[in-house]
């Protein structure tokens, strides 16, 4: 019989019931053997048939061992309740197996599974539901297979208070990417379990549960689950007090080490955003005493070599290379120290060169990511300003009491409505929300590069909202201007004529250099001592280029000028405050830029600006 509904095919990589043997003790009676085989083949048509067999002496507590037909292996033991539960993951999850190969059992006709489970529970008094067997329990099987009907029945019929919920909540090992609907059901089931067993997630168990649950996810996910599911799963752990980033003890691997070693990019990306300090990113751990970056680089180099060999699964290698590449990028964005790879002899040099190659890609993509984060942070402000720009000209106003004119529409000059709307929208600006939006850059602020760019992005959006006249000043571009020129008329008299032309205007120049610190050539400077965000971002990247001797980092703007317009010392970079004084940007605290908190002095300044 096939593994799906009648007429379906056995999934690739699995064995069906026709290639399966169920090994039971020699003393097992015929009624029990019939119960086992008819359950495996889904040949029961009603609950009464199961009840009749149990009355005839069939043992519902029997635990057959499943193995491939003709094999002499021990196989794996499962209870009847486990074997009765249908797989609702499209056989993408490793649930029932022989020890060497996954098993794809057929499915019950619609509505029959509930009756069969009830018959087995009634006949066996439900004691098998919570007993820990050799491999799995019915509760875990119902959860892992995405069978919400079976899960609800077990919760309703059985005493699950003795079930160790954290073990049930370990992420199932996928055989291939599970369907999106399955992942949604699985996350909903986990939420139900954790809500009814919050006492098991006590604070004193946070560290141990973090190593168990997050460690299992780091080992098993391997890029098969979607980023949305992984983020939701780990957010759920965090919500109920699980420590998703437990510190290593130097002997065992942390979840971040496991995700880097086994190739789980979305788990690694989440953990890189949550680790409290850069030291946790660069801490050697485990028997190999290696950092997560070294482990990911080691696997990346190994899979790249494997791809060039004959007889390998090229597609599988490419998927693994992609996963390990994403992990390396996440670690580099989180502040992983490349120099620590060089602490390992010979082989470390190869891994270091591969990591440097990937770092160039990270730096090249960073300039786009910064602009995306900035646009996301300014999007609510821009949307409100655009709306007000359209509403202001049609808003009725009254110039005074009688005999002044009756209410009429407002009239504005060129770009006047846009400028007024921009400043009105600034009064409604949510600074915390804007700061939180900057996390889209996925760059931790506890590293030197991340701290510099986060400080620069914050200063840019504050200046854009509070100091710019409109969005046109923020983005720059070309602007029409009136130019005066001398014209000679036909009578030989000089007349003043006006000529309309366009000039290039750079984006908002909200950064400044200290007095006497601007050593850039005059022909590359649009305004002395002033810089824009793109120059600041490129300067931060140039420091990384110099540190690691990188090649291939692209500037992306004003390429005809080279790097001359970005050559300045970071300690001389700052901005001009409202009183006209220079404030160094390097003095900003970088240790708290990952969050959206606003410092007290900064908040007081913002409030005084709003009311003043």
Domain locations along the chain: 1-163, 200-344, 363-396+413-475+505-611
pLDDT greater than 70 at residue 607: no
Kindly report, residue by residue over 143-163, the tens digit of the pLDDT: 999 999 999 998 888 766 555
Task: List, as one string, the DSSP characters of 232-273.
Answer: HHHHHHHHTT--SSPPP-SSS--HHHHHHHHT-HHHHHHHHH
Calculate mean pLDDT across residues 486-514.
67
- pLDDT for 3: 41
* Mean per-residue pLDDT of the chain: 84
Q: For 200-344, which CATH superfamily applies?
A: Ankyrin repeat-containing domain (1.25.40.20)
CB 524 within 8 A of CB 564: yes
pLDDT given at position 603: 38
Q: Does 12 score more than 90 pLDDT?
A: no
pLDDT, mean of residues 229-254: 83
Radius of gyration of the chain (CA): 33
Q: What is the pLDDT of residue 488?
A: 47
Tens-place pLDDT, residues 389-445: 988 888 776 656 666 666 666 677 778 889 999 999 999 999 999 999 998 998 988
CATH topology agreement for domains 1-163 and 200-344: yes
Residue 253 to residue 262: CA distance in whole angstroms: 12
CA–CA separation, 65 and 2 (whole Å): 20
The class level of CATH for 1-163 reads mainly alpha
Proportion of the chain above pLDDT 90, given as a percent: 58
What CA–CA distance (Å, rounded) separates 142 from 154?
9
pTM: 0.86
User: 228-255: b or e for each residue (b if 16 or more CB lie within 10 Å)?
Assistant: ebbbbbbebbbebebbbbbbbeeeebbb
More confident residue, 10 or 218: 218
Predicted pLDDT of residue 486:
45
Q: How many CB atoms lie within 10 A of CB 487?
A: 12
Higher pLDDT, 275 or 544: 544
- Of 15-19, 135-139, 298-302, the range with the lowest mean pLDDT is 135-139
What mean pLDDT do residues 54-73 have?
A: 91
Among 223-227, 399-403, 547-551, whose mean pLDDT is lowest? 399-403
Would the pLDDT of 566 be above 70? yes
What is the token pair recorded at 112? 């029959």
């Amino acid at each position: 019989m096939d593994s799906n509904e009648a007429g379906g095919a056995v999934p690739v990589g699995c064995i069906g019931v026709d290639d399966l043997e169920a090994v039971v003790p020699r003393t097992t009676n015929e009624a029990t053997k019939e119960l086992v085989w008819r359950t495996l083949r889904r040949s029961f048509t009603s609950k009464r048939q199961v009840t009749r067999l149990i009355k005839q002496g069939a043992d519902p507590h029997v635990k057959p061992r499943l193995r491939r037909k003709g094999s002499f292996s021990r196989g794996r033991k499962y209870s009847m309740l486990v074997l009765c539960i249908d797989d609702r993951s499209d056989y993408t999850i490793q649930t029932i197996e022989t020890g060497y190969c996954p098993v794809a059992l057929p499915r019950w006709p619609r509505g029959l599974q509930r009756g069969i489970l009830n018959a087995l529970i009634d006949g066996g008094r439900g004691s098998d539901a919570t007993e820990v067997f050799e491999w799995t329990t019915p509760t875990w099987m119902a959860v892992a297979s995405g069978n919400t009907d079976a899960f609800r029945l077990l919760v309703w019929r059985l005493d699950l208070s003795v079930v160790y919920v954290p073990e049930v909540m370990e992420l199932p090992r996928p055989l291939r990417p599970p369907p999106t609907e399955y992942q949604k059901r699985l996350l909903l089931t986990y939420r139900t379990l954790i809500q009814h067993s919050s006492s098991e997630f006590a604070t004193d168990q946070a560290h141990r549960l973090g190593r168990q649950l997050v460690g299992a996810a780091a080992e098993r996910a391997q890029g098969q689950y979607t980023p949305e599911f992984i983020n939701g799963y780990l957010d759920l752990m965090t919500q109920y007090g699980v420590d998703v980033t437990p510190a290593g003890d130097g002997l065992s691997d942390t979840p971040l080490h496991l995700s880097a070693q086994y190739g789980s990019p979305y788990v690694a990306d989440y953990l890189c955003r949550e680790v409290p300090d850069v030291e946790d990113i660069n801490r050697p751990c485990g028997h190999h005493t290696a950092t997560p970056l070294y482990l990911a680089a080691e696997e990346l180099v190994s899979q790249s070599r494997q791809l060039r060999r004959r007889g390998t699964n090229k597609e599988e290698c490419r998927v693994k290379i992609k996963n390990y590449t994403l992990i390396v990028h996440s670690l580099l964005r989180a502040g992983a120290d490349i120099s620590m790879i060089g602490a390992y002899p010979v082989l470390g040099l190869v891994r270091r060169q591969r990591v440097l190659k990937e770092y160039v890609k990270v730096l090249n993509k960073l300039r786009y990511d910064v602009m995306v984060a900035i646009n996301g942070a300014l999007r609510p402000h821009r949307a409100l300003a655009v709306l007000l720009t359209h509403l202001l000209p049609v808003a009725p106003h009254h110039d005074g009491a009688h005999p002044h004119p009756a209410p009429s529409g407002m009239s504005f000059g060129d770009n006047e409505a846009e400028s007024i709307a921009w400043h009105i929208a600034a009064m409604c600006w949510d600074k915390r929300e804007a700061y939180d939006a900057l996390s889209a850059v996925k760059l931790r602020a506890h590293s030197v590069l991340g701290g510099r760019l986060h400080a620069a992005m914050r200063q840019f959006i504050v200046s854009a909202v509070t100091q710019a006249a409109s969005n046109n000043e923020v983005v720059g571009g070309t602007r029409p201007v009136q130019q005066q020129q001398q014209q000679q008329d036909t009578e030989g008299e000089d007349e003043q004529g006006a000529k309309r032309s366009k000039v290039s205007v750079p984006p908002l120049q909200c950064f400044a250099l200290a007095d006497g610190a601007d050593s850039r050539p005059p022909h590359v400077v649009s305004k002395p001592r002033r810089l824009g965000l793109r120059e600041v971002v490129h300067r931060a990247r140039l420091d990384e280029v110099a540190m690691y001797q990188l090649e291939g980092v692209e500037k992306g703007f004003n390429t005809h000028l080279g790097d001359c317009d970005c050559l300045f010392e970071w300690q001389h970079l700052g901005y001009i405050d409202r009183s006209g004084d220079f404030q160094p940007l390097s003095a900003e605290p970088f240790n708290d830029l990952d969050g959206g908190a606003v410092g007290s002095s900064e908040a007081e300044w913002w409030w005084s600006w709003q009311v003043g």
